[in-house]
Structure 1
Amino acid sequence: MHQARTTCPYCGVGCGVRADIEDGRLHGVEGDGDHPANYGRLCVKGSALAETLGSHGRLTRPRVDGVEVDWDTALDAVAERLQATRDTAGEGALAAYLSGQLLTEDYYVANKLFKGFLGTPHLDTNSRLCMASAVAAYKRALGADAVPCSYEDLEEAELVVLVGSNLAWNHPVLYQRLRTAKMRNPLMRVVVIDPRVTDTCEIADLYLGLRPGSDARLFNGLLAWMADKGRLDRLYLERHTQGVEAALAAAREDDAAVEAIAADCDLDPERLETFFYWFASQLHVVTLYSQGINQSSSGTDKCQAIINCHLAGGKIGLPGAGPFSITGQPNAMGGREVGGLANQLAAHMDYDSPGAIDRVTRFWATETLVPTLPEGPGHKAVELFEAIERGEVRALWVMATNPAVSLPDADRVRAALAKCPLVIVSECMADTDLLPYADIVLPASSWSEKDGTVTNSERRISRQRGLLPPPGEARHDWWIVCEVARRLGYGEAFAYEHPAEIFVEHARLSGFENDGNRIFDISALAELDREAYDALAPVQWPVTRAAPRGTTRLFEDGRFATADGLARLMPVRPRGPAQALGESRPLRLNTGRVRDQWHTMTRTARAPRLMNHRAEPFVEITPEDAATFGVGDQQLARLTGAGGEYRGRVRLTKGQRRGEVFVPMHWTDRFSGAARAGRLLAAHLDPISGQPETKHGAVALAALEVGWEATLLMASDDASGGEFEGRDDGAYWARIPLAHCQRWQLARGKPGEPRDWLAWVQRWLPTAPTLWCDDPAGGRLRAAGLEDGRLRWWLMVAPPAELPGLAWLDERFAESSRGQPLTADRRRRLLAGCDAGEADAGPLVCSCHQVGQKAIVEAIQAGDTSVEALGARLACGTQCGSCLPELKSLIEDTAGADPEEEDDHARAEQAPKAVHVA
């Protein structure tokens, strides 16, 4: 067995991974203790990477018009159809939609082909959905898409402000790093600003549960307060910035009194002023912000309002200081480096940058080929699909993303895809929501196979190394693009034989005619040979002759990437959410991630233990609102929004604000019948960045009236939901992969409707029931089907609250898959679903060690009243740490908690209230 180093493919933290490989198989992973992004830590998703591999469910052969073909046939078809579209409808009829899941080398050649040689500007990326507003604000204020901070700054800061970021769930390793830093420095303060009380609040000294969408008003108020209290850094502003007076004037257009700001943000004035004082009093302040800020129709202005406050206080370019946008995807930044956004060219050059079009044209020119670059930007993501709907774009190549799920107004996107004459999809998985719309399907390599680089949230370039061969005939994305380019006649410009050659060209372009004004510069890496590229250690750009080992933080000299070197404070006029509430849709919708899942679950759902923490789509709501709308905890409910309906299970929480609901973004038609969050959202865009507003929907809530609920377990080779799968007729179903079988949660029918359960089972399931226990009066049934003594299915008609722990049943399916008939004793216990006396562990809390809530509560009641004691007894919380906030909450709730104690939302606000104003 040997160990190889690579990089995690999930969030933008960019953790280093060590992988154990033997006999061509990856046997396990662990955090790379030498990687400066994580120093050995991994979250539960990263720890489960080895469980997501294997050829099952993978695309392994190309398809053209639904027929499997060889690669030559598929590549010829792509080239011929792209060329035919270009000949008949022009360059502007071609488009590509890329992904932060691609490696930088994949991105580079795709951008070069489409913008450089096919001549279309319409190449955009799903980074538009998460990072575009942060990018636009950085460029507007600092002159470049240049995150000024490093993770080290979290350890150097005196105050860390988390805004619109559930760091504990969305970037767990970074959260643990901040948590550790706070434990080591008792003087550090953490402020969490978020409408929801999340697990991130566990380390908060102050929590501000503001009204959704009021962030810009809050930070405008902070800017005005700093000015009124004499807390602006006037010397820094005079030497290094411009625009402060206009920004202040805009901030004062609304009443700048603390009481007025607090009223607009729905906050306690004293607590708000505490935050203002803390921010103004400290020089070393880091503000971490993410999708809660970006995903708004005024996201660019919200980011700008944060940057304004840092510039006004001189809190940038210092250790422990700066406005720090945390990237959502593993290579969103790398994609932007090579021009992945529709308003970019390459190497951080834009269409309106002086001489940029000519410069890139000359760089990409060969002896016989001269590229023809577009003259201006192309369609941004949502606008791109609107152009497809209008028939202006007639050929679309999608790589490594799923716009049929992730975009707002998703059903309209699907209708546009259905009418597009040519849809090409590069994908690694065989069963995604996008594939039914594809005319040509190209099987791509995935993590552990792909070879190249990624760039994380702190500008750190790391190698993602190919450890295993792709399954079947799957190929790397860069190779696919280059083969198509060759067939289009551009082979001379795409004659790469290894990703190292692509990276070196990318590095050369970053330094080409770069006089220092383009801050993205990795030209010191342009001489790497293949061996040096393979051994490339993580490094932060810029990487130049002056900084050959990289650059930890930017703008330390106070000179910015603008023409005059001055940063810009910009006037911000706060705007509320574009989608208004009303009588028909009275609830504010918020969407986001859950702890153990990633994007549309094509990877994480392959690791069954990641499906247990939040197994079904859900709707989080306060108990008071639940009572108002007639829904109860764990009851099924439906949300109705701008573009359709969402169905999920109600979860009551006191950490939610009244009048608001939260739903996860992950579920697709592969995992549930009607749980795509994108159906609820209208396509309201930020006018500057083009980023859609996915944090501020408007919905109605009602109970989902059903006659019965059931849980069905099926052997994996029989894993069909029968009459449920693929249907969207008012019923409910959710598919939950277990280790050795597939679990289905089902609900349907009308209340009180009689049903002959046994007849229904025999008609629906692949084998007749062998064992059953029927209670027609109570509407209950337990049954199991065996074949040659081996378990094929197990069914319980009853609410899921009556389920036994499913681990015992899952193991019976494992025995059956190995050809082992059930023993007589286990057959007798089959309907009970457990051995006699076996305890149910309860809902999963710790995914790393599969520790349930009941076991944890019992340990607390036995005297283990600290997370350390629980870890020593049960191992929970001892690996990635993601469950630590939940463990602390269980300790508080179980170990002698006062029954009159305030709710979670109020408890999160138990911070010091004394305000010391100079």
Structure 2
Amino acid sequence: MKISPIPLAVRTTCAYCGVGCGVQATPQADGGILIDGDPSHPANKGKLCVKGSALGDTLDLRGRLLHPQLRGDGGMRQASWDEALERVARGFGEIIAEHGPGAVALYVSGQLLTEDYYVANKLVKGYIGTANIDTNSRLCMSSSVAGHKRAFGADVVPGCYEDFDMADMVVLAGSNAAWCHPVLFQRIARLKERRPEVMVVVVDPRRTATCELADLHLPVRPGTDVWLFNGLLSYLAREGAMDAAYVGSRTTGMAAALAVANIDCADPMEVARVCRVEPAKLLAFYRAFAATGKVVTAYSQGVNQSSAGTDKVNSIINCHLATGRIGKPGMGPFSLTGQPNAMGGREVGGLANMLAAHMELDNQEHRELVQRFWNSPRIADKPGLKAVDLFHAVEQGKVKAVWIIGTNPMVSLPDANQVQRALEKCALVVVSDIMASTDTTAFADVLLPALGWGEKDGTVTNSERCISRQRAFLPAPGEARADWKIICQVAQRMGFDGFGFGAAHEIFDEHARLSSWRNGTGEGCVRRMFDLDGLAGLGAHGYDTLEPVQWPVRRGPTGAAEGTRRIECGGRFVPTAPRAPVHAASAEYPLALNTGRVRDQWHTMTRTGKAPRLAGHVAEAFVDLHPHDALLYGVREGELARVTSAWGSLVARVQHGGGITRGSVFVPIHWNGQTASDARVGALVSPAVDPVSGEPEFKHTPVRVEHFGVSWHGFVLTRRALALDGIAHWTRVQGSGFARYELAGRNAAAARGDWARALLGVGEGEDWLEYEDNAGGVYRAVHLVDDRIEQCVFVSKRPDLPSRAWLSGLFDLDTIASDERAGLLAGGWLGKSADAGPTVCACFGVGLNTLCAAIRARKLTEVSEVTACLKAGGNCGSCVPEIKTLLAEARVAEFMQAG
């Protein structure tokens, strides 16, 4: 008997957030990939969030861009690689020859590997001779970069994840870590379970899932973080809680920063008034921070994405400098990175105002050093265009060719309609992507198929400076190529030497050697913290077997590479005068729009949108607002509303999540033109940016909310693609073997059956069951093929339609029984098994109704009991805050019944 070999797991790194979790990917006999957490990776120690766990569900080739395409008179056509690369090289070369290097630009992504980023930066800055290369990391982390450089002289996160395990107080500022960095959040939750006395403070205008762990929630008014932390700095000085020895020996500028803080923020009562928080809570925070030595302050997009983002970062760092809490166990300011390789991109100069290896573009000595190392014909001598300015320059005709790699600016950039105008006017738009149809690829003149996660090979750097390998375990699909290879081949066709790399390890080696080249204090040297000397000369085998390691990486006494957990650096205090957001609310736009993520989706859903289990938690874009504001502006929960700013509008469903203060609204960022008719929140967002970092103000755009009137609501579950012309509002969600469409319309069809058949493409004589109540405005129909459900449609005047969960389960069945047919037409499940309801735990597919029934029947009171009963909450923990809410609601209901 032949024994099949046991498939070997490939150790790689997750494709999502900056936590940088290690993953084990194991090929299965059926062609699938089993995804597990890597227990040996220091970032996650085997844990994965639901998005990471579902990576295996996103690896199919549906919608993939598999061949180069060129635009001609007849639209897009398939082309050879030679033709496509020549079109790019010739197009860029001709524009440079006529208009100069500044007329071309690259816009890249934190989804790229460091090796991709390195060659892109080398081509643009060292060979083309412009710094017009920016990245979507500009949209999430550039304020942290600028704050780090002002405070520490370099873009460095001094601490590590272990500090969260050792802290006595954790402050989460502008971070919904429970949803956006779940594995790290669960690390904090385990700390809290182990040591309940550890204090967790959440600073956030919204009451998010993260607040369920908090001892203290400060719901500050949007944009007031600098007031809060300036007030803390003033309090620390007044109470004698500063570390005078550290401040005197390791810092500069304290007096100036404190003087600025004292102007507006010396009185805690005034700070509380400006921030709109209870004075008692504010003082509790200040006293705890002053009295606790081991404090970690972790901050993310809620701090960064602001026209005052850099000052917010520095106001936090100032408080840690004042107390000497930098780079020591259990303490320090900690930037939580949004993307898997935002930091790796920064290492190689991926931003328009940076040079490779943490050198400065505006420093002649640094420029000369990099140019000599590269032996390049030229070097950019001034900062390039940052993301928002870049696309304005494209619209103005100053930039005539743009190459967009691995990102979707038509959805993700602020004032996204301006991006569309820019791309429509641009002489040459090149897009490298893994997906054929995105909002951005629609404007491409050249489409280049890239490798995706699981196919590409290289390195990424996470939030704690840890460099990890992303390893390929899938073959390249179609004609897709690695981004670094595409860039190098274009560079070679443009006549540039220095791009003859044959493999990713050769690029990494050059990157490592540049980081250590003349890195010191001698003549002709430039001292910098970023140093990979210990990783230079790895070779192919050393690169393939590289273990996670934190930079700086230097050679130890034996010559072995040694990483660095913490950097105990001094720093400079930066005066941070508080200022309000650029655009204030007005009578026309009275509400403040905040944007962000939902739990189970990522960016513009080109990857996560493929996984059915990630769609069950939040299926549609929504606008979350306070019930009083909803009443004031005439919108109702469950119905549709239009949200409008001075820059654009969208339509989304109204909800009252319970965590929004009056005067604010929240809309998620993920929906795009492929998944919804009109839900791109980027179209609304103000293009105001931080004057230092260039990061946009995603957290504060004045808007108004008004009723979006429709005459009917409906949904369709179908195994076929639908043409949705004439539908006033729609959203598409991927199911298991089918697609779900949420619909709403304004035209009441006289013959609803004819309309439904036409919409679903059902021909005469096909098995079609329908029910109609003209008086109630209700219509239901199901299309069967060989007794198997093919499609179903439900329509009503009201938005409270039947549960989609039990209907979705019917698509797994080979045949539909008589009671199931009856249930379809009755609008509810008539069988014995219960409807699970909307998904709460995506890891194990546990629905709301199942949870509530178990809590009631078994009188469950703790999350651990729920997990033991249903597994829910037992994997990534992202659903734990919701389970806690259900348990609390059950206790209240039981008390009311008893009373």
TM-score, with length taken from structure 1: 0.93
Aligned residue for 2:693?
A: 689
Pick from 465, 473, 484: which aligns with 1:459? 465
**CA 1:799–1:228: 2 relative to 1, 3 Å:** farther
Alignment of 1:370-381 (within 5 A): 370-381=376-387
Cα separation, 2, equivalents of 1:154 and 1:801: 44
Cα separation, 1, equivalents of 2:567 and 2:251: 12
Maintained 8 Å contact 1:2/1:22: no
Shift of 1:470: 1.7
Q: Name whichever of 215-224 and 26-35 sits farther off.
A: 26-35
- Answering whether residue 758 of structure 2 is matched by residue 763 of structure 1, we say yes
Aligned residue for 1:502?
A: 507
Pick from 830, 833, 840: which aligns with 1:838? 833
- Answering whether residue 879 of structure 2 is matched by residue 883 of structure 1, we say yes
Maintained 8 Å contact 2:207/2:219: yes
Letter in 2 for 1:866: E
- Answering whether residue 600 of structure 2 is matched by residue 606 of structure 1, we say no
- Answering whether residue 8 of structure 2 is matched by residue 2 of structure 1, we say yes
Aligned residue for 1:872?
A: 868
- Answering whether residue 635 of structure 2 is matched by residue 631 of structure 1, we say yes
Pick from 74, 85, 91: which aligns with 1:75? 85
1:291-310 Cα deviation digits (max 9, x unpaired): 00000001000000001110
Maintained 8 Å contact 1:444/1:476: yes
Shift of 1:808: 4.7
1:885-906 Cα deviation digits (max 9, x unpaired): 11001100112358899xxxxx
Cα separation, 1, equivalents of 2:817 and 2:175: 51
Alignment of 1:466-485 (within 5 A): 466-485=472-491
Alignment of 1:273-284 (within 5 A): 273-284=283-294
Shift of 1:780: 0.5
Pick from 113, 122, 128: which aligns with 1:112? 122
Cα separation, 2, equivalents of 1:228 and 1:779: 68
- Local SS of the residue matching 1:355: helix
- Answering whether residue 335 of structure 2 is matched by residue 331 of structure 1, we say no
Cα separation, 1, equivalents of 2:519 and 2:142: 24
- Local SS of the residue matching 2:160: coil
Aligned residue for 2:775?
A: 777
- Answering whether residue 653 of structure 2 is matched by residue 649 of structure 1, we say yes
- Local SS of the residue matching 1:831: helix
Alignment of 1:590-605 (within 5 A): 590-605=594-609
Letter in 2 for 1:831: L
Letter in 2 for 1:462: S
Aligned residue for 2:18?
A: 12
Shift of 1:810: 3.4
Letter in 2 for 1:33: P
Shift of 1:267: 1.0
Aligned residue for 1:798?
A: 796
TM-score, with length taken from structure 2: 0.95
| Structure 1: runs of 5+ lacking an equivalent | 561-566, 902-918
Shift of 1:722: 2.9
Aligned residue for 1:219?
A: 229
Cα separation, 2, equivalents of 1:263 and 1:693: 23
Q: Name whichever of 583-592 and 778-787 sits farther off.
A: 778-787
Aligned residue for 1:699?
A: 703
- Local SS of the residue matching 1:458: coil
1:409-466 Cα deviation digits (max 9, x unpaired): 0001111011000000000012211011100000000000010000000000000001
Letter in 2 for 1:401: T
Cα separation, 2, equivalents of 1:309 and 1:636: 44
Cα separation, 2, equivalents of 1:534 and 1:68: 35
Letter in 2 for 1:865: T
- Answering whether residue 743 of structure 2 is matched by residue 737 of structure 1, we say no
Aligned residue for 1:914?
A: none
**CA 1:123–1:800: 2 relative to 1, 3 Å:** farther
Aligned residue for 1:137?
A: 147
1:299-329 Cα deviation digits (max 9, x unpaired): 0000000011100111112101111010000
1:548-588 Cα deviation digits (max 9, x unpaired): 554444442x4x4xxxxxx2101110011111101111111
- Answering whether residue 244 of structure 2 is matched by residue 247 of structure 1, we say no
Maintained 8 Å contact 2:714/2:799: no
Maintained 8 Å contact 1:647/1:675: yes
Aligned residue for 1:908?
A: none
Maintained 8 Å contact 2:822/2:830: no
| Structure 2: runs of 5+ lacking an equivalent | 1-6, 522-526
Shift of 1:827: 4.3
Shift of 1:391: 0.4
- Local SS of the residue matching 2:44: coil
Cα separation, 1, equivalents of 2:466 and 2:265: 42
- Local SS of the residue matching 1:574: coil
- Answering whether residue 239 of structure 2 is matched by residue 229 of structure 1, we say yes
Pick from 363, 367, 385: which aligns with 1:357? 367
Letter in 2 for 1:415: R
Shift of 1:231: 1.2
Maintained 8 Å contact 2:556/2:562: no
Aligned residue for 1:51?
A: 57
Cα separation, 1, equivalents of 2:111 and 2:797: 38
Aligned residue for 2:524?
A: none
- Local SS of the residue matching 2:172: strand
Aligned residue for 2:70?
A: 64
Cα separation, 1, equivalents of 2:880 and 2:601: 17
Aligned residue for 1:87?
A: 97
- Local SS of the residue matching 1:646: strand
Alignment of 1:95-494 (within 5 A): 95-365=105-375, 370-490=376-496, 492-494=497-499
Cα separation, 2, equivalents of 1:783 and 1:650: 27
Letter in 1 for 2:789: L
Cα separation, 2, equivalents of 1:742 and 1:53: 18
1:187-209 Cα deviation digits (max 9, x unpaired): 31111110001111111111111
Q: Name whichever of 758-767 and 824-833 sits farther off.
A: 824-833
Cα separation, 2, equivalents of 1:424 and 1:873: 52
- Local SS of the residue matching 1:227: helix
- Answering whether residue 721 of structure 2 is matched by residue 719 of structure 1, we say yes
- Local SS of the residue matching 2:359: coil
Maintained 8 Å contact 2:28/2:34: no
Letter in 2 for 1:414: Q
- Answering whether residue 683 of structure 2 is matched by residue 679 of structure 1, we say yes
Cα separation, 1, equivalents of 2:94 and 2:797: 56
- Local SS of the residue matching 1:882: coil
Cα separation, 2, equivalents of 1:18 and 1:206: 37
Maintained 8 Å contact 1:398/1:426: yes
Shift of 1:176: 0.2
- Local SS of the residue matching 1:336: helix
**CA 1:94–1:46: 2 relative to 1, 3 Å:** same
Cα separation, 2, equivalents of 1:807 and 1:186: 38
Cα separation, 2, equivalents of 1:844 and 1:783: 25
Maintained 8 Å contact 1:805/1:841: no
1:776-829 Cα deviation digits (max 9, x unpaired): 1111000122345443321000268654444554354445xxxx5645565454
- Local SS of the residue matching 1:253: helix
State the number of aligned residues: 875
Shift of 1:252: 1.2
Maintained 8 Å contact 2:159/2:567: no
Cα separation, 2, equivalents of 1:554 and 1:116: 32
Letter in 1 for 2:741: W
Aligned residue for 2:853?
A: 858
Shift of 1:117: 0.9
Cα separation, 2, equivalents of 1:784 and 1:199: 38
Maintained 8 Å contact 1:623/1:653: no
